[in-house]
Amino acid sequence: MKKLLSLTLAVVFLHAGVGTPRAARAQSAQPTLRAPDEMLTLPAAVEIALRTNPLTRATDSGRQLADAQLAEARTGRMPQVQVSESVSRGNNPVFVFGTLLEQGRFGPENFNFDALNNPGALTNVRTGVTLRLPVFDQRRTETRVSQALVTLEQSDAQAEQVRQQIRFEVLKSYYGLLLARARKAVADEAVRTAEADVRRIRDMFEEGVIVHSDLLSVEVQLSEFRQQVIQAQGEIVTTEAALNTALGLPVDTPQRVSGELTERQFEVAERGELLRLALERRPEYRRAALAVTSAQKQVRGARGESLPRVDSFASFGWSGRTPVTGSTDYTVGASVTYDLFDAGRKARLAQASAAEGVADAAREQLANQVRFEVVRAHQQFVTARERLEVANRATGQALEALRIVQDRYREGLTTITEMLRAETSLDRARTNLLAARYDTYVGYAGLLLATGTLTDVKPFVS
């Protein structure tokens, strides 16, 4: 019968985040409470999203996992202590002879040849404590710790990437809701204008000044504008749900957002500076560079397998007929182990080198992708800014054209068709102006995201 109890003792220094109680973490993830009638500002929306969005909680868990992996890797440098206890009984001559020596009970009477050759059964209770301390483990612990530190940095970069993406989604949906409400306001105004036209044209028709077709035309246009109101109302519901999704709230949560889609000037650096900044600040590219570093650490670790392993050890024990009696002994020493032949060592080194090549190629490919995304985001922003200038001019021109046509129609110098066309053009110009303003906001946010600098929303509210 043999009973073995193994206990590993290690001194572990954990990151402060790992030891955070689950209840405390859950409490910190609760959304910022607001009164139902309180206006939602953009900074408040971003703050809520960073607290409640599930992606944030996922990255927090990833950070805690990386902390735990680092703590585990560092235990490779710690001593290992084992406590063992065994109970043995037998009459094997060698066992009995050695056990008597081990228990400190060997005497002259034990030199009797009959006792040596045919001893009686003997019980031995052995308790031992063994300590092993790696002095040099072929860089295995060093490699694991280095890679764990890289993983920790990668998790931080991943968290930053998620935070910037959340800010972008909140910006996009926040101003999308403002855009939808502004479009509804434009549609409501168009309906009011069309209703006034219908009343005026109906009076003129009843007076016999105009034909029935003119009245029918303005009534058709009124119906079209009312359809735009219905569509705009649906867009409000959809964009509000999108905002709630970005905030990590139920989709039917009512929101009262503050602000308007006013024109704002955004300063943008030259394209070359944007490209340089992106390769310096993009979290994805930083993670790819860290992946190369991790692969290099793995190559160094694989080469360390060709070095000897050095360990020190110490043991203390006592043996007797019972667990509380007997003779004590100790042993201390060191060992050096060298693998003269390891068929898989060369293959493992080749795998590590190949993994480094893959990581380096992935980083280069990502660099090209980042450059493309910066160029695309920059061009989208420039295009939106130029469209905004055109839309401003077009809105002014459409407003003036409608005034002229209305005057001419009242004087009987033009047809109802031309007046309706002018009203439709003004409605379209105002809608295009709102869309251009929205695209400018989103385009600038996209450019900040592409360069890895969407760290706050101050440019949009200051």
Residue 273: per-residue pLDDT: 95
Q: What is the pLDDT of residue 18?
A: 34
The predicted pLDDT at position 20 comes to 39
pLDDT tier for residue 37 given thresholds of 50, 70 and 90: low
Q: Once rounded to an integer, what is the mean pLDDT over residues 128-141?
A: 92
- Count of other CB atoms within 10 angstroms of residue 233: 16
Q: Which two tokens stand for residue 91?
A: 């009459």
Q: What is the pLDDT of residue 35?
A: 53
- State yes or no: pLDDT of 417 exceeds 90: no
Report which secondary-structure segment, H or E, holds 206: helix 140-206
Q: Token pair of 137, please?
A: 């483990």
Model pLDDT, residue 14 = 29
Query: What's the chain's average pLDDT?
Result: 86
pLDDT in tens, 225-238: 999 999 999 999 99
Specify burial of residue 94 (Cβ count, 10 A radius: 0-12, 13-18, 19+): exposed
Please give the average per-residue pLDDT across 361-367, as a whole number: 96
pLDDT digits (tens, 9 = 90+) for 71-113: 999 998 899 999 999 999 998 888 888 888 888 888 787 777 7
pLDDT at residue 156 is higher than 90 = yes
Reading the block at residue 265, the tokens are 């000037």
pLDDT at 173: 95
Give the pLDDT band of residue 12 (cuts 50, 70, 90).
very low
Q: How far apart are CA 189 and CA 203, in angstroms?
A: 21
Cβ contact 122:90 at 8 Å = yes
Question: How many residues are listed for the chain in this entry?
Answer: 462
* Burial group, residue 64, by CB count within 10 angstroms (0-12, 13-18, 19+): middle
Q: What is the pLDDT of residue 256?
A: 87
CA distances, 47 to each of 56, 254, 288 (Å): 11, 17, 28
Q: Report percent pLDDT > 90 for the chain.
A: 58
The alpha carbon of residue 122 and the mean position of all alpha carbons in its chain are separated, in whole angstroms, by 65
Q: Residue 25: pLDDT above 90?
A: no
pLDDT tens readout for residues 418-461: 888 888 899 999 999 999 999 999 999 999 999 999 999 999 98
Q: What is the pLDDT of residues 383-413, one digit of tens each?
A: 999 999 999 999 999 999 989 988 888 877 8
In the chain, the domains with their CATH numbers are 42-78+140-305+356-461 (1.20.1600.10), 79-136+309-341 (2.20.200)
Confidence bin at 16 (pLDDT 50/70/90): very low
| Cβ neighbours of 109 (radius 10 Å) | 7
Strands of the sheet containing 327-337, edge to edge, are 80-90, 122-136, 309-320, 327-337
Choice between 116 and 82, residue whose per-residue pLDDT is larger: 82
Q: Is the predicted pLDDT of residue 286 greater than 90, yes or no?
A: yes
pLDDT digit string (tens) for 216-262?
A: 888 898 999 999 999 999 999 999 999 999 999 999 988 889 888 88
Q: What share of the chain has pLDDT > 70, as a percent?
A: 92
Q: What is the pLDDT of residue 215?
A: 85
Which whole number is the average pLDDT over 45-63? 91
Which pLDDT value is given to residue 64? Answer: 92
**Locate tokens 């709230």: which residue?**
249
pLDDT computed for residue 6 by the predictor: 35
